[in-house]
Amino acid sequence: MAAPIRTAVTALCAGLVATLLTTVPARAGQDPGPRDRDWAVTAAAHGPRARISLDGATGTLGIGVSREGRTVVEPSPVGIVTERADLSRDLRFLRRTDRTVDERYRAASGKRLDRRVRMTETRLSFATPAGARLDLVVRAAADGVAYRYVLPAGYGDVLGETSAFTLPSEAGAWLSTYRTDNEGQFAPYTAASAPTGAYSPQALFATPGGYTLLAESGLTGAYSGARLAHTQGSGTYRVRLADERVEADGPLATPWRALVTGDLATVTRSTFTDDLAPASEVTDTRWIRPGTVLWTWLAGGRAAGQSLAAQKAYVDYAAARNWPYEAVDSGWYFKKDEWDVTDPDWQANSWMPELVAYARAKGVGIIVWIHQRDLDTPEERARWLPTLEQWGVKGVKIDFMNSEAQSMLRWYDAVLPETAAHHLMVDFHGSTIPKGIQRTWPHVMTLEGVGGEEKRTNTAAHLTTLPFTRNVVGSMDFTPGAFQRVGLRPNSDAAEVGLGVLYESGLQMFAGTPASYDERPLARAYFDQLPATWDDTRLLTGRPGQEAVLARRSGDRWFVGGVYAGAARTASVPLALGPGRWLVETVLDGAGGLVLDRRVLRGGDTLTVDVVAQGGFAALACPWRAGVTTCHRPHPDPAPPPPSLTGRVRR
């Protein structure tokens, strides 16, 4: 080969290699120098694609996310700062390693029990000129992208992150102003127009080609909870920690910063934040039994909580309805005032053992409310938890944590294994949101962290947003079914029935009075049918702030719940339940109360429902064949079903 040709070929090859090095990672020991670099991580052909970039001039990292060639999150800052190392700049690339995460696990509750996890994981290692090390771990799945920081020991406390998410400025946004109890309402903005302030880390955006929900996973007392800080006029949402200084005594792996992304059906059905979390710490889960709960607080208030006679009456009602649990709220264990426990004979004087024995004989388990301050120390937990287990209590509803600071997260770390050891299911109220906790600790059946039924300021629009925001990341204790709160809730009776399906909760606590259910036999009969767990979840139709209709399957039956904001209408719902013919029984609002519509439709047909203003519906669908007249299964209550359950079937 002539020398000029060899020179040209050599130059061409050198240029090709230089080009490839901008996308193909260097291996261990290679130092790319000051050049800009980027790396791509993806797991599925039509799934999201993360691109991590290193600015050669500043040594700063950024991450952007796209899906099918469209920008979901624009390149956004990545970095963490500790007492002894600034790992947000002057970084030099060291190496890349890759692996595939392929797992199966079975959840105790949630959108579906059997889960399959398939993710691509890339670990990028960097160093500062002083030799400080940072690993950025990025995971991509078909429904999301997440990253976390991994640091060696010896870098001191964490002072903050430079992490941020930059959304397209005009992207629709549904945001909840940050509160320590996570009970704010979601309101619509655009990414840039949202007022300056702090927002819940679960934030939904209408990104090009679909939706993106920002979230966290793997949060423990090793770190601090996060919120999103935003300045009006910008599409950037910065991660701010609850603590100004996060104690770090040894090696540190931070929580995952996650994006659940895809079309709205993908986001709604996603278990991505659970999939990121560590595997279950509970080996024997046979004692963990989800189910419906008759909750007495909104039904009778503190007076009911302090009365054994009233509680026995509620147990009787739960037993008659075949509801597996009854929850006893505030007041049952206090002798003087609500927060003063001074009687040394408090156990001997408590009527709880008598109630538990009474309920056990009727096949009803008891859940008890307790204040976090009474489980605050190891001594208090050693006093309460074994006693509750000995009495036969099935679960605890722990309230008033109201913090995601590291100190409170360390309390969660302590109480979780202790409640599991004493076979006590847990409902956290006034709490953090799930963030993967239900995979690692499956006896956590539900968490509040929501502006639920107790609120007097909820709107129908807020109710239609929750399935796409808060309830995406895990079980949500909204406490539906409070029919007696006429004028204190924004929705119709049929919509209230639908919430029992629309909102997933491992312990679905119904907040109504027995009288309110007896006055609405169709609602009562529908709640009687609700299963303890779900095999699958599908979004049938929805628009955040306007409408939400979800279908959840148990065996061969689908339960459907729908809520709407705005004027009365005839709603059209695609019946995407599968092929064949389906008997569909729909509870809706009529002129004089709830009415039942029964018809046979084919899978893929459109179910039309007359919805009142701020209304909704609940439906039950089962495979239809000749002779099938109802989807309702036999109930142990000897009382006959409402006449409307025995009517004709339309075809």
Cβ neighbours around 89 below 10 Å, total: 15
What's the rounded Cα separation, in Å, for the pair 138 and 149? 9
Region of residue 301 (left: phi > 0; alpha: psi -120 to 50; beta: else): left
Q: Catalogue the active-site residues.
A: 399, 454
Strands of the sheet containing 616-623, edge to edge, are: 536-543, 547-554, 557-564, 616-623, 581-590, 593-602
DSSP 232: T
Phi, psi of 261 (to 5 degrees): -145, 150
* Cβ–Cβ under 8 Å, residues 480 and 500: yes
What's the rounded Cα separation, in Å, for the pair 18 and 35? 10
Cβ neighbours around 331 below 10 Å, total: 16
User: For residue 196, what are its two tokens?
Assistant: 């300056």
What's the rounded Cα separation, in Å, for the pair 306 and 111? 35
Looking up tokens 């500790």 gives 82
Looking up tokens 């300056």 gives 196
End-to-end CA distance of the chain: 83
What's the rounded Cα separation, in Å, for the pair 510 and 488? 16
SS3 521: helix
Please name which of 494, 520, 67 lies closest in space to residue 260, comparing C-alpha atoms. Answer: 67
DSSP 246: B
Q: Where are the alpha helices (DSSP H) in 452-520?
A: 460-465, 493-502, 514-518
User: For residue 646, what are its two tokens?
Assistant: 């025995």
Q: Judging by beta carbons within 10 Å of its beta carbon (0-12, 13-18, 19+), is residue 76 exposed, middle or buried?
A: buried
Residue type, 149: Y
What's the rounded Cα separation, in Å, for the pair 373 and 400? 8
Q: Where do the DSSP E strands lie in 201-359?
A: 203-206, 211-217, 226-230, 236-241, 252-253, 256-262, 291-295, 325-328
DSSP 57: T
* Cβ–Cβ under 8 Å, residues 589 and 523: no
H/E segment holding residue 133: strand 133-141
In DSSP terms, 547 is beta-bridged to 543, 564
* Cβ–Cβ under 8 Å, residues 252 and 207: no
Residues 6+ apart with CB under 8 A from 583: 598, 599, 600, 621, 622, 623, 624, 628, 630, 631, 649
